[in-house]
Amino acid sequence: MSELSLESSLKRFSTRFAVSADLTREGKELIPGGYSRNSFNFGPHAVFAESGSGAYIQTVDGHRLLDLNNNYTVNVLGHSHRSVNDALLDAIPGGFSFGNPSSAEAALARILIDRIPSVEKIQFSCSATESCMSAIRVARAYTGRTKIAKFEGGYHGFSDLLQISAHPNPELSGPADAPNALPDSGGIPDVDVQNIVALTQNDLASCERLLRANAEDIACVILELQSGAGGLVVLDQEFVEGLRALTTELGMLLIFDETISLRADYHGLQGLYGVVPDLTVMGKIIGGGMPLGAVGGSADVMEVLEDGRVSISGTHHGHRLALIAGAACMEALDRSAFDRLNGMAARVISEINEWSASRHSPFTMYGRGFSHMAYGYMREEGLSIRTHRDYWTNLDAEKTQIISLELANRGFFPVHRGEVSLSLPMTDDDITSFIETLKAIVEELEV
Active site residue 155: yes
Task: Please report, to the nearest 10 degrees, the dihedral formed by the alpha carbons of residues 281, 284, 286, 287 taken in order.
Answer: 130
Task: Please report, to the nearest 10 degrees, the dihedral formed by the alpha carbons of residues 262, 265, 271, 273 taken in order.
Answer: -90
Q: In terms of C-beta density within 10 A (0-12 exposed, 13-18 middle, 19 or more buried), how is residue 202 classed?
A: middle
Which are the contacts of 209, defined by CB distance < 8 A and separation ≥ 6?
177
What's the rounded Cα separation, in Å, for the pair 295 and 279?
Answer: 7
What's the rounded Cα separation, in Å, for the pair 377 and 391?
Answer: 11
Residues 56, 284, 396, 399: which is the catalytic one?
284
Residues 142, 155, 273, 377: which is the catalytic one?
155
Active site residue 257: yes
Which are the contacts of 293, defined by CB distance < 8 A and separation ≥ 6?
124, 125, 126, 127, 128, 129, 130, 131, 132, 259, 281, 282, 283, 286, 287
What's the rounded Cα separation, in Å, for the pair 34 and 38?
Answer: 8
Q: How many CB atoms lie within 10 A of CB 350?
A: 12
Residues 257, 265, 278, 396: which is the catalytic one?
257
CB contact at 8 A, 304 and 120: no
What's the rounded Cα separation, in Å, for the pair 138 and 304?
Answer: 7
State which amino acid sits at residue 376. Answer: G
Catalytic residue IDs: 155, 257, 284
